């Protein structure tokens, strides 16, 4: 059973950088899956941020692409998210998830989510 766990600061100052890590257990990050980040502002819907493959290939949502970097650390079985120049609009619960099972990119395993608040 694959488990994902997000970690990182819960408070980030405006104009700063949001940094989160997703640890993967019960499975290898080097499996044939993409690993994604999805966010959900309080009381709102879900927004896909981007994804990474074990090779380091990435795909990003164009709405965030200029500010987002996703990276992978295979030795630690984890992947990470950085969002630069954050504003209050980036306040959200951030989820990591496993995607692209056999080429079909739905999300079958999710972390429990971590709330990141952008505030001074």
Residues that bind other proteins (CB under 8 A): 36, 45-48, 59-63, 95, 97, 99, 104-108, 110-113
CB of 4 to other proteins, least distance (A): 9
CB of 50 to other proteins, least distance (A): 8
Using DSSP, state whether 107 is helix, strand or coil: strand
d(CA 16, CA 67): 11
Give the end-to-end CA distance of the chain in Å, rounded to a whole number.
Answer: 39
- The kind and range of the H/E element at 101 are strand 92-101
In this complex, which beta carbon is closest to other proteins, that of residue 46 or of residue 88? 46
In this complex, which beta carbon is closest to other proteins, that of residue 48 or of residue 53? 48
In this complex, which beta carbon is closest to other proteins, that of residue 54 or of residue 101? 101
CB-CB contact of 95 with 39 (8 Å): yes
68: how many CB neighbours lie within 10 A of its CB? Answer: 18
In this complex, which beta carbon is closest to other proteins, that of residue 60 or of residue 72? 60
CB of 82 to other proteins, least distance (A): 18
């Amino acid at each position: 059973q694959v488990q994902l766990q997000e970690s990182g600061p819960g408070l980030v100052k405006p104009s700063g950088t949001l940094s989160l890590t997703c640890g993967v257990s019960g499975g290898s990050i080097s499996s044939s899956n993409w690993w994604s980040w999805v966010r959900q502002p309080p009381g709102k819907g879900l927004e896909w941020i981007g994804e990474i493959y074990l090779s380091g290939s990435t795909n990003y949502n164009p709405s965030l692409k200029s500010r987002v970097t996703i990276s992978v650390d295979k030795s630690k079985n984890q992947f990470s998210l950085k969002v630069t120049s954050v504003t209050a609009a980036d306040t959200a619960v951030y989820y990591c998830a496993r995607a692209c099972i056999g080429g079909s990119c739905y999300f079958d395993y999710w972390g429990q989510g971590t709330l990141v608040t952008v505030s001074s």
